[in-house]
Chain A
Amino acid sequence: MTELAIRAEGLVRTYGARRALDGLDLTVPRGVVYGFLGPNGAGKTTTMRILTGLIRQHAGTVELLGRPLRWGDREPLFDVGALIESPSFYPYLSARDNLRVLATTGPPPRPGRIGEVLERVGLVDRADDRLSTYSLGMKQRLGIGAALLNDPPLLLLDEPANGLDPAGIVEMRRMLQALAGEGRTVLVSSHILPEIQLMADEVAIIANGRLVRAGRLEEMLGASGEVRVRVEPESLPRATAVLAGLGIAAAPNGHGTGWLTAAVGPDRAPELNRALVLADVPVAELTAGNDLEGLFLSLTEA
C-alpha cells in the first residue's frame, strides 16, 4: 500500500490565456489533516475539481490512494468523499432523502450508513425536514455527511467551515481530527487560517497555480516565527544593535511605541531577551509566536 493518499505531479490547467495551475505538485500522506491553502485564484478549487474528476488537467498526473486518476475513471473516486465549494442537494428533499438519492450514485454505502452519517454530523433531529429550511451551517454539515457516506479513506473538503457558527467550527475541527485519527486522510481547503493551524498536521501553500511551500505545519511555523519586544523608545537603536550582534535582523515598528520585530523562531525568544537584558536594555514586553497567517502572507504576497 502506498504511503501517499494523493500524489499530483506537474498539474497544468488553463482557462483561455490564464494558467490556473502552472505545474502544481502535491503530495499528501495518509492519515493526516492536510491544509490546502492559497489566496483567491491560486488554483485550490481547480485542483479540487481535478482531484474529483470534474475537470481535466491539461498536463500532469494524479494518483489517489495509489491509483491513477484519468479523465473518465470512476473507481479511484469510490474511496473519496468530497465537498467541493458548496453543499449540493435537492432543496425540496429532506436531508435523509437527499442522502438516499445520493447513495444510489457511485458505490452503494453499507446498510444503515445514512443514519450513522446523520448522527455523526448532528442532523438526526432535522433529518426529515426539507433542505430548503436548513441554515447554511446545517447544509455544510450535511455536505460533510454526504462526503462520509461511503466511509471513505480520503476526504477532500473545500471550505468545510463555511457558514458555521463558532461552536460549529470547533465541532467541525474535532470531527476532522477524529476522522484523521481513524486513519483517514482529510484534505481541507480553507481561508480560516487559525482553524487550519489548530487542526492540520501538514499544509501546502499555493500561489499562482504553483506550490510555494509544503510540509509539516510545526516545522514550517518553527522556521518562520517572529519575536516582538518592546523597549524604551530611546533604546531602540541600542536594542537593534544588540540583536544584530546575535545575527538577528530586527526592525522597529509602530510610531515611537518602542516595538521591535525580529524575524526569528519563538525558540530563540529567551536568548534574545537575555541578550537585551545583559546589554542593559530593559525589556518591557515580549511576545513570541508564529502564526500561519503571517507565514501565509509572507509566502503569498511576494
Chain B
Amino acid sequence: MSLLRGSLRKIALRPATRITLIVLLILVVLVYLGLAAVMRALPPDEGGAELEAIFGFPDAFGTLAALLLTFGGLAAAAWAGALAGGEWTWNTFRSAVARGSSRPGYVLWTLAAVALAALVGWLLVFAVGAGAAIAGGAIVGGPVGDPVAAADRLPLLVLAGWWAVSMEAAIGFAVAFIARSQIAGIAVVVALYFGEQFGSIIIPPDLLRYAPVTAANTLVSAAGGPPGTALLAPLAVTTGYLVIAAAAAGLVARRSEIS
C-alpha cells in the first residue's frame, strides 16, 4: 500500500496531471458550447435527433461518455505513457529497485494509481461535461429532459467509461514502460485509434470487436444503452487488454536489466 501512496503522490503533484485535466475540462465545455451554438443556428425543424442525443437526457449521458472516451482515452494514454517512460528517463525506477523495492510491485502499484487518478479525472470531467450539456441544452432552447431522473443509468455508465479509459491508459503505460520511451505509449494508442477506424473498412465487425479501442467504445455504448444491452463481451475484452498490459509491464519490470 505504501507504493500506492507514493505513486498517488507523484501523480497528483505532476504538472502533466493538472494540465491534462484542465485541457480536457476546457475541451468538453468548448465542444458543448460550440455544438449548442451550431444547433441554435439551425432551422427549428432540423437536427431534432442530434439535439436529443447531445442535449436531451438520458441519451446525453451516453453521448458525453462516448465523447469523453475519445478525448479522455487518448489523453489518459499519453499521460500514463509519459509517466511510465519518465521512470526510465529520470531513473526513478532504478532508485526504487536499488532500495530493494519489488520490481513488478512498483510498476503494478503505479498502474493502480494511474487507474485511481483516471477515476478522479473521469468523474470530474464527466460532471463538468454533464453541466455543459445542460447549459448547452438551455442555450439551444430545446427539450433536455430531466438529468436527475435519468441518473439511474449513471453509475454503470461512469464505471464502464472509467474502466475503458483505464484500459487505454494501461496500454499507453505498458508500451511506454516496455519501450522505455515516453512517446511510445501515446504513439501506439494513437495508432490503435486510427488503425481501428480505418481497419473497420476491411476488418469484419466480428473480428474488430476484439480490438481494444472498439471494445472500449462498445463497452461504453452498451453501458449507456437500454437495460439488457450485452455488456459482458466488451467488458471481458476490455478487462483482458487491461490485464495483459499490466502483466506485460510487470513481467518486463521483473526481468529487465536497469542501466
Contacts and interface: CB of A to CB of B under 8 A. Distances in A.
B259 to A, nearest CB: 7
B99 A102 contact: yes
Interface stretch (A27-35, A91-99, A118-126): A91-99
A126 B234 CA distance: 51
Contacts of B257: 54-56
Majority DSSP secondary structure for residues of A touching B: loop
Q: Which 7 A-B pairs have the closest CB atoms?
A: A104-B6, A106-B99, A88-B91, A77-B100, A105-B101, A105-B96, A52-B98
A53 B257 CA distance: 9
A52 B106 CA distance: 16
Q: How large is the interface on A (under 10, 10 to 19, 20 to 34, 35 or more residues)?
A: 35 or more
Interface of B: 2-3, 5-7, 9-10, 13-15, 86, 90-92, 94-103, 106, 254, 257-259
A127 interface: no
B110 to A, nearest CB: 10
Contacts of B94: 54, 84, 88
Interface string A73-116: 01111101010111011111100010011111111100000000
A160 to B, nearest CB: 15
A146 interface: yes
Given A49-B259, A54-B94, A93-B10, A105 B15 contact: no
B90 A88 contact: yes
A256 interface: no
A150 B9 CA distance: 20
A77 B99 contact: yes
Q: From A77, A91, A92, name the one whose CB has the most chain B CB atoms within 10 angstroms.
A: A92
Given A54-B97, A72-B103, A88-B92, 9 more contacts: A53-B100, A74-B101, A86-B91, A90-B10, A92-B13, A97-B10, A100-B9, A102-B96, A102-B99
